Structure 1
Amino acid sequence: MSAPVVELLAARGARDIAHPGGTLLAHLRRVHALLREWGARPAVRLAGLSHAYYGTDGFPTALGEVTRREELAGVAGEEAERLVYFYASCDRAFSYPRLAEDGGPFKDRFTGALLHPPLALRRDFAEITAANELDLARVNPDIRARHGRELLDLFTAWEVLLSGPAWRAVRLILP
């Protein structure tokens, strides 16, 4: 795990922010660990560790500003930061149903821009999303009970984007 990234997250209060998975920092560390377990490359693991840095469509609390992206890039690296921004920028209602489509559109919730991300980027996004949601489903039975079926449907639609280990985790954790 990248100590400088953890230090930045902690300095921005992630250790003290309540989250459905305990504290935000505990959740971020578990997402990183899942991605490592699945064999994700280092930039994807670091993006998973800091995926909530700019807030998300589902968790609006931000640790950093999208206008100061160089701060996260300086400790996580540019590729990981680009993945974090992409993850945070997702307009979920628009983008989730279309993510697995060939050339499917993706809407940036910060700018309103409509993008057509390449397959590799959509795969990275799907992998981080799966790690995020599966961590919550594992540690919070209420989330699994309330959202497990819809998450299973989503990840089933995204199966072509997920790695083998991520897909196996979906099948193991979700109903």
Structure 2
Amino acid sequence: MASSERALATPSWRAVSRAVAARAMWYALDAPCAWSLGAEDARAARWDEDEATTSRMVDEDDLDDDGALLRLREARATKLTHVRGSFDAHLVDVRDWLARFGAPRSVARAGLGHAAYGSELFPCAVASFGAHRSMFRAVCGRASERLMFLYATCSQRKFYRWALTRAGAFDRETAAVNFYTGETTRALSGFEIASLALIHAADILSVQTPGRAVNTATAFAMCLVASAAATFREETRDGDADASLVDFADALENDVLDDILKAMVATSERKSKSAWRELREEAMARARHRLRRTRIDAVMVMRATGVLN
């Protein structure tokens, strides 16, 4: 465990205020947010291509799946509030959605600690890039911690905008942008980008309330899952990739998307598989159309995440 002066802790109001101001400038001016960090964290926020993980590195079965959450609980960092309820409950909900997707254990572990370093939309980092990455690697594994780090540094508005451009696999060169540094490199593997899409989808679904109709946020989460499936399938074209990703991609497209729809639509009506699929495709098309037409990024992100209906 890190020394007391470097222990996990809820951020001060000054740190949060600085982070909020930096994100406002990022949205308004595309000005990267590294200035809001200390010098050590600003350096550590950069993406390193040598860290990129592939599908061959996802099974680290000797690790504690709850390691990240336990560290956050020890530091009382999970006492933070979230959109609906506690930060602690939100982390568990995201992990549970990823488990429902059938995601690899490393991805589910990353979901359980996905916001430890904060994110573009959550400027309340309880962990430091410079001080705590090695600790989380030890308790979560390299692949899981890498996804936590990428989730914390990858711009959600840029990622979401790219996901709306077309239905299909993410482009590694343009889909991911580091909002701290402005980097748009190929430092991320296809597996990592697809996994990020699943974590974002689970994050969105975790704060939605089932209703009679599919809202924009739920439909957009399904768009992210569909793009993740396409990206996993494309990743298997690399001879070094795990061929089981094809089966996972098939399950995401053929079962998981329908399961999300059934979980989020309150109805007792019996529908055929083709009827569910038609309903889901219509909802996804409406969400893409509505979000594409939303010119202001802040409004688009709030609609995509369900803050605005």
CA 1:122–1:166 in structure 2 vs 1: closer, same or farther (change >3 Å)? farther
Of 154, 169, 172 in structure 2, the residue corresponding to residue 103 of structure 1 is 172
Q: Which residue of 1 aligns with 2:95?
A: 32
When normalised by structure 2's length, the TM-score is 0.49
Greater share of strand residues, 1 or 2? 1
Q: Say whether the 8 Å CA contact 2:225–2:257 is kept in structure 1.
A: no
Bigger Cα Rg: 2
Give, in whole Å, the separation in 2 of the partners of 1:166 and 1:126: 14
Of 216, 222, 227 in structure 2, the residue corresponding to residue 149 of structure 1 is 216
Q: Which residue of 2 aligns with 1:84?
A: 148
Q: Which residue of 2 aligns with 1:112?
A: 182
Q: Which amino acid aligns with 1:21?
A: R
2:206 is paired with a residue of what secondary structure?
Answer: helix
Give, in whole Å, the separation in 2 of the partners of 1:94 and 1:32: 24
Q: Offset at 1:76? A: 0.8
Of 105, 109, 122 in structure 2, the residue corresponding to residue 42 of structure 1 is 105
Matches within 5 A, 1:112-131: 112-116=182-186, 117-131=188-202
Q: Offset at 1:30? A: 1.4
Q: Say whether the 8 Å CA contact 1:13–1:63 is kept in structure 2.
A: no
Which sits farther off after the overlay, 152-161 or 70-79? 152-161
Give, in whole Å, the separation in 2 of the partners of 1:160 and 1:5: 27
Q: Offset at 1:154? A: 5.9
Give identity over the alignment, percent: 25
In structure 2, list runs of 5 or more residues that go unmatched. Answer: 1-63, 164-168, 230-251, 266-282, 284-309
Q: Offset at 1:150? A: 4.7
CA shift digits 1:142-174 (9 cap, x unpaired): xxx9xx315524642651314245423443327
Query: Superposition RMSD on alpha carbons, in Å?
Result: 2.6
Q: Offset at 1:88? A: 1.1
Which sits farther off after the overlay, 125-134 or 12-21? 12-21
Which sits farther off after the overlay, 104-113 or 54-63? 104-113
Q: Which residue of 2 aligns with 1:70?
A: 134
Of 162, 168, 173 in structure 1, the residue corresponding to residue 258 of structure 2 is 168
Q: Offset at 1:67? A: 1.2
Q: Offset at 1:14? A: 3.4
In structure 1, list runs of 5 or more residues that go unmatched. Answer: none
**Matched residues, number:** 170
